[in-house]
Copies of this chain bind each other. A is one copy, B any other.
């Protein structure tokens, strides 16, 4: 790989190198590379050829500083292993595809401190917008978002006060409606299995909504348990076994996510428990993993991909909702009864 073209392989190329190689000014090269302004067809070709020949890669750092424009969108989510977030990210990527905007992902591990530092770090690159999961942030984070002077979209959840725009579903209402459906189907001794994460506000809201829904019928949760870490499917199994041992007369279990719900379902099938006759089950999310299960778990679609798309559309300025002053998009999750809630 002896390079005849690059004078110093250590130093990276600049516009000047391309301009010298093609015999025009740096400005003209810049114009060609950005397709801006008038350049004759012949010089355009000459410049393009030289740039390609040298293997020139523009320096966006300098470009961004000079133009005061950055084509980055900061996207901050609590986790990637949750299965939900990769789908949201896909929706964002897809929608941003041909806008010239580029998503940059950051992960907080459900930690407020980390959210704060990830946000700080990302804002220091002066992105064109921020998409961030949840409505609950530290005071400092909230202040940064407010002062950033760029569009902010908080996603996943609409139960609370957004800084700017918001796209999501009401987890409270999701829980509530699930409770109504379950009570409506005649179940009375109801248990809850969920994650122990104190900072998963959405799971918390679902449970609160769920309890409120039960309360409408004068019912209280018969039992509950929380876990953290490990394989969700396995935990679903283990916890289902444990809760049924402790409270054998349960006739329904509501899981805070589909994964542990699936584990519970597999356990019940193993043990020959009559689902949904003797015991009903429901999860949350509508992950397509469930399609492959022997029986389809009742669940509620969280509109993950669409949330990503709508949020990205707002940042890209493509949203039809009020362009200024913060859009407020509440999507409606659809209850899928599956085969694990008896139909009356």
Considering the complex, which residues of chain A in the window 126-168 have a beta carbon less than 8 Å from any beta carbon of chain B?
126, 143-144, 146-149
Given contacts A12-B149, A62-B65, A126-B12, are A291 and B231 in contact (CB under 8 A)? Answer: yes
Decide if A175 is an interface residue (CB 8 Å cutoff).
no
Segment at the B interface, from A117-125, A204-212, A309-317: A117-125
Contact A90 B86 (CB under 8 A): no
Contact B59 A126 (CB under 8 A): yes
Contact A291 B234 (CB under 8 A): yes
| Chain B residue contacts of A57, Cβ below 8 A | 120, 123-124, 144, 148
Given contacts A55-B144, A57-B120, A60-B125, are A9 and B80 in contact (CB under 8 A)? Answer: no
Contact B10 A149 (CB under 8 A): yes
| Chain B residue contacts of A10, Cβ below 8 A | 149
Contact A233 B293 (CB under 8 A): yes
Contact B61 A126 (CB under 8 A): yes
Contact B12 A237 (CB under 8 A): no
Decide if A64 is an interface residue (CB 8 Å cutoff).
yes
| Chain B residue contacts of A236, Cβ below 8 A | 292
- Give how many copies assemble into the complex: 2
Contact A289 B233 (CB under 8 A): yes
Segment at the B interface, from A20-28, A39-47, A100-108, A322-330: A100-108
Q: Give Cα A59 to B148, complex, Å.
A: 12
Q: How large is the interface on A (under 10, 10 to 19, 20 to 34, 35 or more residues)?
A: 35 or more
| Chain B residue contacts of A221, Cβ below 8 A | none
Contact A266 B293 (CB under 8 A): yes
Which of B81, B126, B292 is in CB contact (< 8 Å) with A233?
Answer: B292
Decide if A335 is an interface residue (CB 8 Å cutoff).
no
| Chain B residue contacts of A126, Cβ below 8 A | 12, 59-61
Q: Is the interface of A mostly helix, strand, loop or mixed?
A: helix
> What's the least CB distance linking A286 to chain B, in Å?
11
User: Which residue of chain B is the closest to A237 with respect to CB atoms?
Assistant: B292
Q: Give Cα A143 to B5, complex, Å.
A: 13
Which of B12, B90, B232 is in CB contact (< 8 Å) with A81?
Answer: B90
Given contacts A55-B144, A147-B9, A293-B233, are A86 and B80 in contact (CB under 8 A)? Answer: yes
> What's the least CB distance linking A195 to chain B, in Å?
15
Decide if A277 is an interface residue (CB 8 Å cutoff).
no
Contact string, A52-72, partner B, CB cutoff 8 A, digits 1/0? 000101111110110000100
Decide if A32 is an interface residue (CB 8 Å cutoff).
no
| Chain B residue contacts of A30, Cβ below 8 A | none
| Chain B residue contacts of A147, Cβ below 8 A | 6, 9, 55
Considering the complex, which residues of chain A in the window 210-234 have a beta carbon less than 8 Å from any beta carbon of chain B?
230-234
> What's the least CB distance linking A302 to chain B, in Å?
16
13 residue pairs bridging A and B, Cβ less than 8 Å apart: A9-B147, A12-B149, A55-B144, A55-B147, A58-B124, A59-B126, A61-B70, A81-B86, A86-B86, A89-B107, A104-B105, A234-B288, A266-B294
- A binding-site residues for B, Cβ under 8 Å: 1, 6, 9-10, 12, 55, 57-62, 64-65, 70, 80-81, 83, 86-87, 89-90, 93, 102, 104-105, 107, 120-121, 123-126, 143-144, 146-149, 230-237, 262-263, 266, 270, 288-294
Task: Sort A-B residue pairs by CB-CB distance and give the 6 closest, nearest first.
Answer: A233-B292, A234-B292, A80-B86, A231-B288, A231-B291, A234-B291
